[in-house]
Homo-oligomer: A and B are copies of this chain.
Amino acid sequence: MQGPLRHVKPPWAPSSLTYFPGRPSVRRVWGVSPSASERKKVLILGVGWGGFRLARDLDKRQFDVSVVSPRNHFLFTPLLPSTTVGTLEFRCVQEPVRTIRGVHYHQAQATAIDVHHRQVHCLDVYRHYGSGKLVFQLPYDHLVIAVGTKSSTFGVPGLQSREEQFSPTGTSKDNVFFLKQLEHARSIRHRIIECFERASSPFVTEAERTRLLTFVVVGGGPTSIEFTSELCDFIRHDVSQWYSDLKHSQKIIVIEAGKHLLGNFDSSLSDYVETTLAKRQVTLLTNQVVKEVKDVSVVLDDGTEIPFGVCVWSTGNGALEFVKNLPLPLSQDHRIKVDETLQVLNHPHVYAIGDCAVNEDKPLAMLAQVANQQGGHLASCLNRDEALAFQYKFMGAMASLGTFNAVVDLNGPKFKGIVAFLTWRSAYWTMMVSVVNKILIPMFWFKSFFFGRDTSKF
């Protein structure tokens, strides 16, 4: 078993297929899927809101559906901030891809698209013993690109994205975190508890204790606000109980480049959010830009340096390298240009949905509901073999402010406080995919409310 593995040509590989040379450190295999059949092959890249919905809704009797994604689960992103402090547990906000029946799943990263030969080059996520990573190609009749985006750092010095290489924090630093994947949420949770454990030692200096308990949140969008609110809840209900000496020592600072938090919401709601957070002793620094990220501090445009224990960076989305290098028409911000039927311009049989796609005549925000509706629309078009224009239906914008508080903007009616909170919880509860998560999530809400959040780190 110690030598390099054999390079096999599988028995079902037609000899006419091209042999893909791959990179030097990489295993080479013949490029064809063993699931080849009479049904048309639909290949979906990504299992976010768009890809997962599409894979689920496609008619498997008509189509031979394959999914490629380095992540083997769909993540219910709106509930991700709740997992950073243990209000919800990680596993109840995701669904394994394999729970979709009749789909071939490949845990791999798409590296390039060969539009001419209608195939996608993929790279296995695992390094194989005695050989490199596996490279293989998957053929398609219809290709759907739903790979999403990565967190953007806007080129701030000192901070690089490591999202494409799977770092536990998502960034190049171990105390600065993106909040886009479950591994980021888990790292944040561990780090928050670590900071309280360290700060509780009677042997650290006051300056160090102050630094450890300073939580900096960069960005003023819904993810930042929800994380900040969850952190406030955690400190108010749990830290006060288990680290009682520290309950008034922490400092939460939200830094936003724009004039207001939740810039996309109605101004009455964003005012409400700002007042609510200010009441909870959160420092709001609006109209402030982070100029540099150092090892344990951020530097603002005006030169102020803020030392921190934890920094959560959630400022927006940028294109993946994979998308930037595609031989497809791209917009200026590197999104794939599609027409109103979601087909990539001038590329029949290639579609793009979600954050990585844009119809420049009718540009839409990068939202879960857009991707989800596009996935559903494309599935129904493919199932019925017709090309209809996609119509986006705005379902409202929501942000939780922790226990018993939220803001909801339903494109007309606006709520805040407990009514909004109940709307938020019931809306997301309804949208959960599996029965088991529909049971688990209220159970964890109940548990956190009555018994508090767990503070173990392992």
Q: How far is the CA of A457 from the CA of B258 in the complex (A)?
A: 37
Closest to A186 in B: B458
Query: A72 with B197: in contact, given A205-B6, A243-B98, A456-B91 (CB under 8 Å)?
Result: yes
Query: Which of A50-58, A372-380, A447-455 makes up part of the contact surface?
Result: A447-455
Which of B8, B73, B435, B451 lies in contact with A456, CB distance below 8 A?
B73
A158 on the B face (CB < 8 A): no
A29 on the B face (CB < 8 A): yes
A2 on the B face (CB < 8 A): yes
Closest to A86 in B: B91
Q: Which residues of B contact A201 (CB under 8 A)?
A: 106-108, 124, 134
Which of B1, B243, B451 lies in contact with A296, CB distance below 8 A?
B1
Q: How far is the CA of A34 from the CA of B204 in the complex (A)?
A: 12
User: Which chain A residues (195-209) contact chain B, with CB distance < 8 Å?
Assistant: 197-198, 200-205, 207-208
A129 on the B face (CB < 8 A): yes
Decide if B89 touches A91 in the complex (CB within 8 Å): yes
Decide if A203 touches B447 in the complex (CB within 8 Å): no
A94 on the B face (CB < 8 A): yes
User: Which chain A residues (155-197) contact chain B, with CB distance < 8 Å?
Assistant: 181-183, 186, 193-194, 197
User: What per-residue 1/0 map shows which CB atoms of A110-144 lie under 8 Å from chain B?
Assistant: 00000000000000101011000010100000000
Decide if A99 touches B296 in the complex (CB within 8 Å): no
Q: How far is the CA of A72 from the CA of B196 in the complex (A)?
A: 12
Decide if A2 touches B107 in the complex (CB within 8 Å): no
Query: A455 with B98: in contact, given A10-B202, A297-B1 (CB under 8 Å)?
Result: yes
Q: Say which size band chain A's interface belongs to.
A: 35 or more
Q: How far is the CA of A203 from the CA of B68 in the complex (A)?
A: 14
Decide if B307 touches A94 in the complex (CB within 8 Å): no
A418 on the B face (CB < 8 A): no
A276 on the B face (CB < 8 A): no
Decide if A99 touches B242 in the complex (CB within 8 Å): yes
Q: Which residues of B contact A29 (CB under 8 A)?
A: 203
Query: Which of A336-344, A355-363, A382-390, A436-444 makes up part of the contact surface?
Result: A436-444
Query: A458 with B107: in contact, given A1-B297, A96-B242 (CB under 8 Å)?
Result: no
Query: A129 with B296: in contact, given A1-B211, A208-B5, A455-B72 (CB under 8 Å)?
Result: yes
User: Which chain A residues (308-364) contact chain B, with CB distance < 8 Å?
Assistant: none
A40 on the B face (CB < 8 A): no
Q: Which residues of B contact A99 (CB under 8 A)?
A: 242
Q: Which residues of B contact A35 (CB under 8 A)?
A: 202
What is the total number of copies of this protein in its complex? 2
A237 on the B face (CB < 8 A): no
A425 on the B face (CB < 8 A): no
Q: Which residues of B contact A136 (CB under 8 A)?
A: 203
Which of B108, B295, B435 lies in contact with A2, CB distance below 8 A?
B295
A33 on the B face (CB < 8 A): yes
A90 on the B face (CB < 8 A): yes
Q: Which residues of B contact A291 (CB under 8 A)?
A: none
A414 on the B face (CB < 8 A): no
A60 on the B face (CB < 8 A): no
A247 on the B face (CB < 8 A): no
User: Which chain A residues (226-249) contact chain B, with CB distance < 8 Å?
Assistant: 242-243
User: Which chain A residues (83-109) contact chain B, with CB distance < 8 Å?
Assistant: 89-91, 94-96, 98-99, 105-108
Q: How far is the CA of A134 from the CA of B202 in the complex (A)?
A: 11
A251 on the B face (CB < 8 A): no
Min distance, Cβ A175 to any Cβ of chain B, angstroms: 9
Min distance, Cβ A423 to any Cβ of chain B, angstroms: 27
Decide if A203 touches B134 in the complex (CB within 8 Å): yes
Decide if B458 touches A71 in the complex (CB within 8 Å): yes
| Additional pairs, 17, CB under 8 Å, beyond known A91-B456, A434-B451 | A1-B211, A2-B294, A8-B205, A10-B202, A72-B193, A89-B89, A91-B454, A94-B456, A96-B456, A98-B242, A98-B243, A98-B455, A108-B201, A134-B203, A134-B204, A436-B447, A440-B447
Q: Could you pull out 15 A-B pairs where Cβ atoms are within 8 angstroms?
A: A1-B296, A1-B297, A5-B205, A34-B202, A72-B193, A72-B197, A89-B89, A91-B456, A94-B458, A124-B198, A126-B194, A126-B198, A183-B458, A439-B447, A443-B443
